[in-house]
Structure 1
Amino acid sequence: MHEKSDRDHVAWDIETTGFGWSEEITVSGFWFPGGHATLLVNAGPHAADAEAFERRLAEACGAPVSVTVADDEAALLKGMRRVVFERFERDYDRLVAYNAESWKGGFDLPFVRTRCIRQGVDWPFDGLLFADLWDPVKKRLNTTTTAYGASDDANSLTGAYDLLCDRNESLGDVLGDAEGHAWYRDRPYDPFEDSGSAAAHYREGDLLPVLEHNLADVHRTWELGELVRRFVSSKDVTEKKL
């Protein structure tokens, strides 16, 4: 994943109403090479204005953002299929995520499979090349923290990002894209410290901060993917077709 001729990364993450099999996907977000994002939101019974969301999100992250409002979870899953069909270059792009499906399990991909089955929707990622970043970040980059003689491993998405990327302006040459944009700068637009808060706001119909949270997470995921590409041997990164 570190060669210049290697595939580009498309980062992906979801928000849900909870962790159980009967919960639903609320937002599915993609961050594409070159610095632009596509988010799909399951509006359900809530009011949603895609254009207003796009303006606010673009202002927050400094990059173009496209928002698609789905009437329900089934429509969101079908929208994910359209994004994959229309936006992915299967011969050049690789889907990356953080703890979406690793050797210890992961959350996002198993959750989406179950929701596709429950909603009667075909698998949206059929044949895509995929790599999970959790294992190479944990094993090949030092994210160990110490305090008063005790040690811990900041191996969550936000923990690893804060240690390796956040506020580190020296990463400009590492994370700058082909057009010279540096996406490493500090981004304060994530309103939550955890996904539980996002789920609570979704239930109340407060959708914008849920979208902001997902956008921040796919942004973090993409940047960690670029670090892995440049500093970790491709032999240490497991990839597979979904």
Structure 2
Amino acid sequence: MTMLETVAFDIETTGFAVEDQLTVIGFDSEIGSRIFLNTGEEPCPDDLERRINEHLDRPISLSVQETEKDLLYEVTDFVKSALAHRDMKLVAYNGERWNGGFDLPFLRTRLCSHDCDWPFTELPYIDAMDVFEKRFNTTEKTLTGVYGELIGHGLTDLDPFTDSKEAVGAWEKGDFEDLILHNVADIRRTRALMLLAERYCSKSHFKMYSLDPVA
């Protein structure tokens, strides 16, 4: 497992209901982050990527689409070309666990609504939340809380939000810069925690499974 490079994954949405949609999907690896933004057909600054990179020590590459469906097609192309069939594993924090999770169930529903194929074929998956609940002595349960307890607050200044719910209002107002910075902070927290867990936990402490669909 330790030979597989960690690619952290996180989404932002307009809410939690079936009819809500994806606004941002982010991936973080050692060399940088790839971010996909759905503007909802609202205007987006031409220099948005440059403005965001001014805040970062590792660059992002930003892809902007006007609709959720276009975002999903772009993400699928990216995963097939850059992640699949390589020595990589997808990692999320409460993305999908045996008793629930958020990111992958939400993504499945939105893919169904557009009749889009599942993008993560050929990728193994680990949920980082499981190992921190069972193998570390923490009082916090959230991504931000666990990161703060075990690593520190190095990404706090980067994240403009104190609560993920603020991401909904930011998208509705067209505040795409803060929305993306929040997503970048979360994917980088997730990846940092996974690297920390691999330093202190054995292979048997991680539950890895395939994301290949049956059909």
| Interval containing the TM-score (normalised by the shorter chain) | over 0.9
Choose from 136, 145, 151 the match for 1:165.
151
Q: Closer, same or farther in 2 for the Cα pair 1:99/1:80, shift >3 Å?
A: same
Other structure's SS at 2:75 match:
helix
1:76 maps onto 2:45 in alignment? no
Other structure's SS at 2:7 match:
strand
Residue 234 of structure 1 is matched in structure 2 by: 203
Any stretches of 5+ residues in structure 1 without a counterpart? 145-153, 168-184
Residue 81 of structure 2 is matched in structure 1 by: 86
In the alignment, is the contact (CA less than 8 A) between 2:84 and 2:123 conserved in 1?
A: no
Instruction: State the superposition RMSD in angstroms.
Output: 1.3
Choose from 137, 141, 145 the match for 1:155.
141
Residue 190 of structure 2 is matched in structure 1 by: 221
In the alignment, is the contact (CA less than 8 A) between 2:84 and 2:120 conserved in 1?
A: no
Where does 1:1-242 land on structure 2 (aligned, <5 Å)? 1=1, 3=2, 6-34=3-31, 36-49=32-45, 52-88=47-83, 90-144=85-139, 154-167=140-153, 185-242=154-211
Identity %: 38
In the alignment, is the contact (CA less than 8 A) between 1:113 and 1:123 conserved in 2?
A: yes
Counterparts of 1:90 and 1:216 in 2: how far apart (Å)?
Answer: 27
Counterparts of 1:138 and 1:118 in 2: how far apart (Å)?
Answer: 33
**How many correspondences in the alignment?**
211
TM-score of the two chains, using structure 1 as the length reference: 0.84
Q: 1:186: Cα distance to partner?
A: 4.7
In the alignment, is the contact (CA less than 8 A) between 1:61 and 1:187 conserved in 2?
A: no
Spell out, residue by residue over 1:159-215, the C-alpha distance to the aligned partner (whole angstroms, 9 max, x if none). 000111125xxxxxxxxxxxxxxxxx4551100012211101111111111011001
Spell out, residue by residue over 1:46-91, the C-alpha distance to the aligned partner (whole angstroms, 9 max, x if none). 1113x52221222212111100001100111111111111221533
**What amino acid is aligned across from residue 23 of structure 1 in structure 2?**
D
**What amino acid is aligned across from residue 33 of structure 2 in structure 1?**
A
**What amino acid is aligned across from residue 159 of structure 1 in structure 2?**
G
